[in-house]
Amino acid sequence: MTLTVYIYVIAESLLILIDSQNVSLVVKDYFNTIGPLLYSISTIFNIFYPKFRMMKERIKNENIILNDYEKKKEYEYQRRFDDFSRIF
């Protein structure tokens, strides 16, 4: 969340600098639009990125566990088949 604060401080300081200069209204509106957009995006990114990363790790771990289970199950079937084929 500190990144969001830094972006907010930089955007607001740029807005203060632009307001003190004789700059056209279009440029002022541009910075008034881009500033809040930037810190809104950074806030959303800071909220959701760790959750998506955690979900990805959990899915990866679950897939590893499932693959291990499938290998054990296949081994059991193969062993039973081998035991059955020895009888005949």
Amino acid (one-letter) located at 29: D
pLDDT given at position 32: 85
pLDDT given at position 73: 80
pLDDT given at position 21: 87
Structural domain that includes position 18:
2-87
The pTM (predicted TM-score) of the whole model is 0.56
Q: By the 8 A CB rule, do 39 and 7 touch?
A: yes
Give mean pLDDT in consecutive 10-residue pieces for the chain, a chain of 88 residues. 84 87 86 87 90 95 91 76 62
Q: How far is CA 86 from the centre of its chain?
A: 54
pLDDT given at position 3: 83
